[in-house]
Amino acid sequence: MARTGTILSIVLLLSGCGRPATLQECEEIAGRVAELTYMAESKTKTPANPEQIQTIRARVRDSMMKECVGKRITQRALQCVRTAKSADAIKKDCFD
């Protein structure tokens, strides 16, 4: 549940400069957050199997998609998401 709060914070921060986020970009962000959340919850640095990622992604996808698509996003923020080491880092480093 705490991760849902992190996701919503990330989405709200998308409203800065840039251009409107696409569905594909929001899917990418949700997927990356799900992967990083899995790694944090399982205390591993190895990628999760797709079923585990999908389970985590389903927990946050609906609220994230409603709040993400069409909000402002920059290319810098997307690159930051792609290289982030944790879901919290996405919020702190990519969208603050």
pLDDT per residue, tens digit, the chain (96 aa), is 556 566 656 655 554 568 999 999 998 998 898 888 888 887 766 666 788 878 888 887 877 777 788 888 999 999 999 999 998 998 889 876
**Per-residue pLDDT, 3:** 63
**Per-residue pLDDT, 22:** 92
DSSP 15-66: TSSSEEPPHHHHHHHHHHHHHHHHHHHHT-SSPPPHHHHHHHHHHHHHHHHH
For residues 23 and 90, what is the distance between their CA atoms, to the nearest angstrom?
18
**Per-residue pLDDT, 15:** 47
**Per-residue pLDDT, 77:** 93
